[in-house]
Amino acid sequence: MTIAEAITDAIGIAMDKDDAVYLMGQDIGVFGGPMQSSKGLWERFGEQGRVIDSPISEAAMIGTGVGAAMAGARPIVDLMFAEFLALTMTPLALEGASVAYRTNGKVTVPLVVRAKYGVGPHRGHAEGCIGMLMSFPGIKVIAPTTPQDAHSLMLAAIEDANPVVFLEHMSLLHGGRGEVDPGARVDIGEARIERPGTDLTVVASGLMVKRATRAAQVLAKEGIDVEVIDVRTIVPLDVATLQSSAERTGAVLIVDEGWPVGGAASDVCAQLVRASGGRPSYSIDFLTPPPTPVPFATHLEAQFVPGVDAIAAQVRELIATPSSTDEEESSR
């Protein structure tokens, strides 16, 4: 299956199992969803009224989903693109994400929001707005990289009692295929070591996992052994796995295609520093795009998003730079 097929299959399984699960969004009916990401669901569930084509009002879609979830349904809202999340923050982040807390768990909001992001073959709509999502308590954020993770984590998201934003990278949706075990379970908040290594840890999600793995293969020929970790779930972050790897390798490079200020990379860094008591025993650096709008031209986009060569170069530089711990030891 491709990632798109895996997500659709998982949604179909959930809808077969539970009549409370339904899909709502723009162009998800006969059209098959943006980038054909809901293909086949209209034919299976449309006559039941459980695949609902929505008007172009993102706030209304999310608000409707929050209300339905509070009333006992399990809606999946396809928002098309993550850049539209900014239009939904009041119903999603300020209201929906806080309901369980405000009611002491008596009312929950089992809502999944699908959103495509990242540079892709169809140009535009690349913004992920991940940093914005991370700032609101109560929202889980998932970004799968493989068909198996997409399938397993979509099922986990639908089962979750509170809002989950399910990010689908546009360069990966119809990319490589992989075997999918429908019964395999992946827990939300569990990272995966994509490639084991001993010299440095690269932390990434989405397309950056693929590029970091390719960079690691290049660096292996130079005798540099890079461990690549796919976080899979950005919120909650599996800090324990990241910290354990960083302490073992002695350095961590956080690679992200979001903006550097207030984004996922800076927050991952902050969480690692806090987990180490403010004095990590390893070096930390990150590689992100510059703080500019995402360019549309292909050659500018290629310069904007961290590529394989840029990741490899940053790894070499970080390994060559002594950590603060090394400097302290040498000064004694």
CA distance 277 to 275: 6
Percent of the chain whose pLDDT exceeds 90: 78
The CA angle 268-269-275, to the nearest 5 degrees, is: 90
- Would the pLDDT of 137 be above 70? yes
pLDDT for res 324 = 53
**231, 262 contact by CB (below 8 A):** no
Residue 323 — pLDDT band, cuts 50, 70, 90?
Answer: low
Helices (H), 39-194: 41-45, 58-70, 89, 99-102, 130-134, 147-159
DSSP-derived secondary structure for 186-205 = --TT--EEEE--SSEEEEE-
- Would the pLDDT of 48 be above 80? yes
Q: Residue range 3-20: average pLDDT?
A: 96
pLDDT for res 143 = 97
Could you read off the pLDDT of 265-319 as tens digits, one per residue? 999 999 999 999 999 999 999 999 999 988 888 888 888 999 999 999 999 999 9
CA distance 45 to 264: 36
Q: List the structure tokens of 50.
A: 């459980």
Q: List the structure tokens of 80.
A: 């098309």
pLDDT for res 175 = 83
pLDDT for res 329 = 53
Domains of the chain: 3-169 (3.40.50.970), 192-321 (3.40.50.920)
User: Strands, E, within the chain: which ranges?
Assistant: 21-25, 51-53, 74-81, 112-117, 140-142, 164-169, 192-195, 200-204, 226-230, 233-235, 251-255, 283-287
Is 125 a residue of the active site? yes
- Would the pLDDT of 332 be above 70? no
Q: How confident is the prediction for the chain on average, in pLDDT?
A: 92
Q: How far, rounded to the nearest angstrom, does the alpha carbon of residue 58 sit from its chain's CA centroid?
A: 20
Of residues 25 and 296, which shows the higher confidence score? 25
CA distance 202 to 161: 31
- Would the pLDDT of 16 be above 90? yes
Catalytic member of 122, 125, 169, 299:
125
Residue 113 — pLDDT band, cuts 50, 70, 90?
Answer: very high
- Would the pLDDT of 330 be above 80? no
Q: Residue range 17-39: average pLDDT?
A: 90
Could you read off the pLDDT of 209-249 as tens digits, one per residue? 999 999 999 999 999 999 999 999 999 999 999 999 999 99
Could you read off the pLDDT of 157-207 as tens digits, one per residue? 999 999 999 999 999 988 888 999 999 999 999 999 999 999 999 999 999
CA distance 116 to 242: 26
